[in-house]
Amino acid sequence: MKHIFVVALFIGYGILNAQSIHRSACNGDVKRLDSLLAGKDVNVLDENGRTPLLYATGCRNGEKAFYYLIAKGADVNIGDKGGLLPILFATQSQNEKYIDTLLAHQVNVNVTDIFGNSPLQLAVIRGNLSLVKKLIDNKTDVDAINNRGNTALEIAVREEFDSITEFLLYKGADKKKLRKFTLKGKYLGQKEPKLKPIMFAPNFVSTENYIHTAVFHPNERELYFTASLRKIRTEAIMVSKIKNGVWTKPKRLDIFGDTKEFDSFITQDGKKLFYCSNKKVRETDTIQNADIWMMERKGNSWGKPIHLGNEVNSPKNDWFPSVSNKGMLVFSPSIGREAKIVYSTLKDGVYQKPIAYGKNVNGENAYNYDPLISPDESFLIFSSRREGGFGGADLYICFKKEDGTWTEAKNMGETINSKTADYAPSLSPDGKYFFFTSNVMGSSDIYWISSEIIQNLRNDK
């Protein structure tokens, strides 16, 4: 639902406007490419400063064109105006054959993307030891620092890629550049924001990894969020707790097995944790869609996972539960292209069949997901891809009127929304801060801002 793939990113950079030569390179149409290049420079640039080789490397069907262009003498070190280069695309997609070919043609391995990541750092982020070994030679800067202030070694240590860590140290990576994060106090000791979003706990929570959906337990001593753990190749709910006055390094919530868990939500009384998982409901199940589950608090830990049932869960994937103080469950099933936000009421302890919100919330021809219902049900925030946004999916807000109907969905504005995807809204237990996730730094990070912005949007007629 939320992942950004290399090809999708490349399309976002304007491939649909490419010239015929570059389109042919993207499609791997060698015969047409050979004809179009007759008498022309193999490194011909399009209007965005991209070579045919850059297209061939970044496109799903470009393999034949890639090797054709290399054989024609294409320059492997030409990038576009935004800093995209063939070696960066090849590393992002973990295409070892391309990388072997580029390395054999004296590619520069010390280039960086717009986020300051070198090919080596991208390989470490993906936990790919084989690529790491290929990318290190006597010219590689193993201690290069990206825009987040991290070396390849720091990323490997944080993600517990032990074999990569050992290899980097063997190749001379500097231990002294490793930083230690000792976080204390409320909200992990972070400087509390005002009306401008701040990345939350950079390099401790928000990292090069795929991170989203931050929720605090009302005891303010436990933080939960979702991370894509490349080491075990799945999404997992992570938790950091205060121990001896210090926030512990985030670890996977330990009651789970090898299934995917994500999109956690904790009720304001701290007694229930709702989340999504592709865990089998019955051992005989063959299809493992994501369903909504719940756990009840048992002392200082969580009890056995409880499936919310097929009355609530759809035959497809169900995402992002949030629950009001009255027990109303709001979430987003992924059924069809026009995904809608739905709600389910609680009757005699059982959640009822979901009902879709009306046009003011769900709009028309829109894909809506990741809803947050406020504790008092006075407002609803969700992510949506619809006309009039800032680029990717934006966060929208609706307010409940006195007659129980909803105001028309309002874009939360450029203070919150970026040209990339913005989603996964949540509130601090005391309601003072609004958290959300943004892809503005290339992966996904958690940001927070004063919840005054919500009241300001309410007052802004």
- Quick: pLDDT tens for 94-110: 999 999 999 999 999 99
Task: State how many domains the chain has.
Answer: 2
Q: Are residues 119 and 204 in the same domain?
A: no
pLDDT higher than 80, residue 288: no
Q: Using one digit for the tens of pLDDT, what is the confidence trace for 293-304?
A: 999 999 989 999
On whether both 69 and 207 belong to a single domain, the answer is no
Helix (H) or strand (E) holding 132: helix 129-135
**Chosen domain end from 160, 177, 194:** 177
- Rounded alpha-carbon distances, angstroms, from residue 89 to 9, 58, 222, 281, 308: 10, 6, 38, 39, 42
d(CA 16, CA 87): 22
More confident residue, 366 or 67: 67
- Continuous segment of H or E residues that includes residue 32: helix 30-36
Statement: residue 3 has pLDDT above 60: no
Q: How confident is the model at residue 230 (pLDDT cuts 50, 70, 90)?
A: confident
> pLDDT at position 1, please?
40
- For residues 132 and 262, state if they share a domain: no
> Encoding tokens for residue 432?
């003072």
Residues 359 and 335 in one domain: yes
Residue 256, pLDDT score:
67
Q: What is the per-residue pLDDT across 386-415, written as a single tens digit (0 to 9) for each? A: 988 898 899 999 999 999 999 999 999 999
Domain that holds residue 92: 6-177
One domain for residues 136 and 200: no
Beta carbons within 8 Å of 235's beta carbon, 6+ residues apart: 210, 226, 227, 228, 229, 260, 261, 262
Both 322 and 377 in a single domain? yes
In terms of Cβ atoms closer than 10 Å to its own Cβ (0-12, 13-18, 19+), residue 25 is: buried
The residue written with tokens 């390099």 in the block is 203
Report residue 250's pLDDT band, with 50, 70 and 90 as the boundaries.
very high
Write down which residue in 125, 143, 177 finishes a domain: 177
Residue 14 has pLDDT above 70, yes or no: no
d(C-alpha 260, C-alpha 231), whole Å: 13
Q: How confident is the model at residue 86 (pLDDT cuts 50, 70, 90)?
A: very high
**Which domain-ending residue is among 120, 150, 177?**
177
The pLDDT tens digits for 340-374 are 999 999 998 899 999 999 999 999 889 999 999 99
Q: Strands of 334-385 (E only): list them.
A: 342-344, 346-347, 350-351, 355-356, 367-373, 379-385
Q: What pLDDT does 12 receive? A: 41
Reported as a single tens digit per residue, the pLDDT across 202-228 is 999 999 989 999 999 999 999 999 998
* Residue 1 is assigned to a structural domain of this protein: no
